[in-house]
Structure 1
């Protein structure tokens, strides 16, 4: 397996630290920026990176998701990923805020939530250009336009991140639905912000 994905994760983390530390629209409160030295992450671990088929739901239900400010947002339950983590069979639902968009949103809580990671849970955003691969994709990262129905998604928990409300209560964040509360520890991605 190519190691390029590791470099991509390292670069994304460095760019996020730069943005959070310096950008005017950073979610880090202004009075904490001078002391900001970067976010905390688990070491990059290939065991938390999966190539999975999305089991698209025939009946794509609209679900109401609670938010961190006691509000509500609506999503479409689009499909599910099934895999094994920490010796356990796991199912995670993937959602769309708009049925016409291509990206998938995969929020989750796990056994690290509230301890090593943000208590309300973390997110994965899956973009087709970056996370969807055709069955005959070569190791150099080139994609074939054919075989789209058989394509797999890369579910990389090394890219799991905290919602903006983890840094400041001025944000409203959708919370992972209970169906995505996992009974396993996902020791990958972003840790709690201190």
Structure 2
């Protein structure tokens, strides 16, 4: 299966989960009328293979949450890439130094307009997002909204200001249209 087909398949699975599963972040009455999330079309221009510029000594970062709380992460490294001719940098975080997965939260020029205002996330799992030569795949077609975009019952970490981009990332999940 091509990477594009895989993304489309994952989107279909997520829509099914949101619309049918009792553990969905959507309230039961919303699930009944749910007809799918909105996404940008899959676009190879928003898929990057980049090395992680890992920090020698990862620093703890306190991140605010959607419920005025705080969570702590480690700033593990950064990715540099080019969007629409502009070079940008995003920090990658870990909640536990022993885990291999990276978390890349971000806001961009679409936040609050076409996409969720608080920002979106990328989860980078080594088995799916790291190539044989050790570079990482940042595929913004996989960018998704945190659960707090669907319900106030959830507490979500907010992207630190270091990950606020001035460029639009017109890929991945769009804003949910129920008023959140």
TM range (shorter): over 0.9
1:132 pairs with 2:130: yes
Aligned to 1:108: 106
Aligned to 1:181: 164
Residue correspondence of structure 1 range 22-33 to structure 2 within 5 A: 22-33=20-31
Q: What TM-score results when the alignment is normalised by the length of structure 2?
A: 0.97
Of 130, 149, 157, the residue aligned with 1:166 is 149
Give the Cα–Cα distance (whole angstroms) in 2 for the partners of residues 89 and 29 of structure 1: 40
> Matched residues in 2 for 1:192 and 1:63: separation?
27
- Residue in 2 that maps onto 1:64: 62
Pairing 1:15-54 to 2, within 5 Å after superposition: 15-54=13-52
Q: How far apart are residue 49 of structure 1 and its match?
A: 0.1
Q: CA deviation at 1:51?
A: 0.3
Within a 5 Å distance, the mapping from 1:68-147 to structure 2 comes to 68-135=66-133
Q: Distance in 2 between the 1:6 and 1:85 partners? A: 19
State the superposition RMSD in angstroms: 0.7
Structure 2 counterpart of 1:145: none
Q: Partners of 1:69 and 1:86 in 2: how far apart? A: 34
Report the Cα distance in structure 1 between the residues aligned to 2:4 and 2:29, rounded to whole angstroms.
33
The number of residues matched between the two structures is: 177
SS for the counterpart of 2:152 is coil
Write the distance in 2 (CA, Å) between the matches of 1:174 and 1:130: 23
Determine helix, strand or coil for the equivalent of 1:38: coil
**Partners in 2 of 1:29 and 1:107 — Cα distance?**
25
What 5-or-longer segments of structure 1 have no aligned partner? 136-150
Distance in 2, matches of 1:30 and 1:71, equals 27
Which aligned segments of 4 or more residues in structure 1 are displaced greater than 3 angstroms?
A: none
TM-score under structure 1 normalisation?
A: 0.90
Structure 2: state its 5+ residue gaps. Answer: none
